[in-house]
Amino acid sequence: MDYHWALTGSRYNAAVEWEMTAIASSKAITKWNILALVCGVVGTAATLGLDHLWLKSWADSGQGFRVGRQWTANLPQGQTLVYYESKARAPIGDVTLYITDSDGERVRALPLEADINYRLWFNQWSGRALWQLDLPRADQYQFRCSNHNFAYDSDVPADDRVVFFRTPDSLAEVSFTRKIIQGTGAAITIGLIILFYFLHGLELGKRRALAEPLMAPRDIGPDIIVQ
């Protein structure tokens, strides 16, 4: 006699049923990994948005004056970097700043040795810090910035300007604050993603525990066919 086992009819259907149920109960999709994905997208967007707002607030600070014109303005006492900004290209040299106080005394604009420059991608401004000023008192100052890379002042791009008293004054402080914003945003986002995936793992564990009785082999009594 030759004995072999066979699953037939309703017994085969029962085997397929518990296997499909077990697979469905252990799917690796939960609300937690969906939340982790959403958190990654929203956290990244929020971090970039805050970084953008901070940089924009810095770019909008200070007092800007068009290059190639004589200006009179009330400026506060203290030290300030003077930035040259342009939507074309901020010059490296051949630019002068002549400034006097209300008594006609000249205030020295000290050229910077370090090359401090930037490009603001959201408004296409290029900037470079060209001078350090130390204004002895709050006063009404007269000044003129001239770009000698052009033959005439009328040839200087209309958007070119010099900016006093940015807040914060130093570009290094701006970069440091941006790093804090980016680092904090990244840490919070990654921390939430790890938390959500931890909860995702717990949820899968519960599903597997519920699926174990279904995944246990059933005594479905296979037919014995005798040949």
Instruction: Give the pLDDT band of residue 135 (cuts 50, 70, 90).
Output: very high
Residue pLDDT, tens place only, 200-226: 989 888 888 887 665 555 555 555 444
**Element (H or E) spanning 192, and its range?**
helix 171-215
Q: Is the pLDDT of residue 147 over 70?
A: yes
The pLDDT of residue 20 is 53
Which pTM value belongs to this model? 0.68
63: Cβ–Cβ under 8 A, 6 or more apart, which residues? 73, 75, 163, 164, 165
Mean pLDDT for the chain overall: 83
The pLDDT of residue 172 is 86
How far is the C-alpha of 89 from the C-alpha of 71, rounded, in Å? 23
Fold of 62-166: Jelly Rolls (2.60.120)
The pLDDT of residue 121 is 79
How far is the C-alpha of 65 from the C-alpha of 190, rounded, in Å? 43
Instruction: Give the pLDDT band of residue 5 (cuts 50, 70, 90).
Output: very low
Out of 10-19, 30-39, 169-178, pick the least confident.
Answer: 10-19
Instruction: Give the pLDDT band of residue 4 (cuts 50, 70, 90).
Output: very low
Q: Is the pLDDT of residue 23 over 80?
A: no
Average pLDDT over residues 118-145: 90
Q: Is the pLDDT of residue 139 over 60?
A: yes
How many percent of the chain have pLDDT more than 70? 81
Average pLDDT over residues 58-67: 90
Out of 63-72, 116-125, 172-181, pick the least confident.
Answer: 116-125
Burial profile 17-46: b = 16 or more Cβ within 10 angstroms, e = fewer: ebeeebeebeeeebebbebbeebeeebeee
Instruction: Give the pLDDT band of residue 6 (cuts 50, 70, 90).
Output: very low
Q: Is the pLDDT of residue 7 over 90?
A: no
How far is the C-alpha of 182 from the C-alpha of 59, rounded, in Å? 18
- For 68, left (φ over 0), alpha (ψ -120 to 50), or beta? left
Do residues 207 and 17 make contact, with C-beta atoms less than 8 angstroms apart?
no
Task: Name the one residue in this structure whose structure tokens are 């086992």.
Answer: 5
The pLDDT of residue 117 is 87
* Backbone φ and ψ of 145, nearest 5°: -110, 130
How many percent of the chain have pLDDT more than 90? 47
Q: Is the pLDDT of residue 169 over 60?
A: yes
